Amino acid sequence: MDFKLGEEHEMLRQSVRDFAEGELAPGVADRDENEYFDRSVFDKMGELGLTGIPFEEKYGGAGMDYLAYAIAVEELGRVDPSAADTLSAHVSLGAWPILAFGTEEQKSKYLIPLAEGTKLGAFGLTEAGAGSDAIAMTCKADLDGESYVLNGRKIFITNAGAADTYVVFARTGPKELRSKAFSAFIVEKGTPGFSFGKFEKKMGLRGTQNCDLVFEDCRIPKENLLGKEGEGFKISMQTLDGGRIGIAAQSVGIAQGAFELARDYAKQRVQFGKPISALQAIQFKLADMALEIKASRLLTYNAAWKKSQNMDFGIDAAMAKLKASETANKVANQAVQIHGGYGYTREYPVERIMRDAKITEIYEGTSEIQRVVISNSILR
């Protein structure tokens, strides 16, 4: 067992950190304030090779592993949680299912531009009546000649509107088939009958874009079925297993960023004649924050490593996502506390970070759903 990261991983961490601090940090407050998704942020991530980190070079990727991917998402999350989310939704949810379940034609047409970062990806599972209960989806796809006709609506979809390629889940069979009643499809932006609904006004991650996907008699060529008919639910669940590593990594980054700001502030904020970092109340907070971050990072890297080794990693990903997202929220909350009244103002970044952190306990499976997944595996 070796807990030391190799040179390749350390170099990647440094280059993503340089990019995040140099190119993302200057605009992060503005993108939050103006609720602005800046496509050029994604384009730059593509130029750096981040959009295809875990994919083979023959598919336009960097040929690295999921640990490298987790490190990159963590470093983005440390500075700009929205950029981390854009990348995570793109790689884990938009591109990975095409790698895992696509035909060579689909990989060549859709995966390569996603991995190279010339196209942006998204994932359409959630519906108004099907959030945690994903199997309750009502969006349907009826086979008609050489195409499927898609009707229904997806909500809260990350990268939607801006994204070019969507992996969408819809019912293709009767209710009695339960989980086998769904299929996955690759849908291109611009397909007639495919439009976008309202953009969400969110508490945090306001540098990302989320909106509804609307399908009205939208014809999708038969060859855009991803995997086999009836495999859609399984594809969605396996995709989310991997996606949870991305959210865990984003959460570790959010916590690390908040921790560093709190530590630096505590060292320079003087009260009672000395920096507040000299007070044990603050020292113990910082110690607990550092401990929680380390535990979360180890769980996250462990899940990413297992995925790279083709080992079962679903439960590890659920544990990492649960622990890291709760850590991000606790640490961001304490970072605001250490900043006192200043931390509650928009002049200090911990205010935004606390808002950005909240969603990590909700999306890609709430903390409650992670506990369902973990406890099911314990009691099976």
Residues that bind ligand CAA (CB under 6 A): 89, 123, 125-126, 132-135, 156-158, 178-179, 233-234, 237-238, 240-241, 314, 363-365, 369, 372-373
Helix axes 232-268, 280-308, angle to 10 degrees: 150
Smallest separation, CB 329 to ligand CAA (Å): 17
The residue among 133 and 142 lying less far from ligand CAA, judged by its C-beta, is 133
Nearest 5°: phi and psi at 231? Answer: -95, 0
364 included as an active-site residue:
yes
Whole-angstrom distance, CA of residue 181 vs CA of residue 158: 25
| Residue of 104, 146, 364, 368 marked active site | 364
The residue among 9 and 321 lying less far from ligand CAA, judged by its C-beta, is 321
Whole-angstrom distance, CA of residue 323 vs CA of residue 252: 9
For 209, other C-beta atoms within 10 Å of its C-beta total 26
Smallest separation, CB 176 to ligand CAA (Å): 12
Smallest separation, CB 126 to ligand CAA (Å): 5
For the chain, the farthest-separated pair of C-alpha atoms sits apart, in whole angstroms, at 79
Smallest separation, CB 177 to ligand CAA (Å): 9
Smallest separation, CB 239 to ligand CAA (Å): 9
DSSP assignment string, 4-15: SPPHHHHHHHHH
Strands (E), the chain: 121-124, 140-144, 147-158, 165-171, 182-188, 194-199, 210-221, 225-226, 270-271, 274-275
For 66, other C-beta atoms within 10 Å of its C-beta total 26
The residue among 89 and 332 lying less far from ligand CAA, judged by its C-beta, is 89
- Residues marked as catalytic: 364
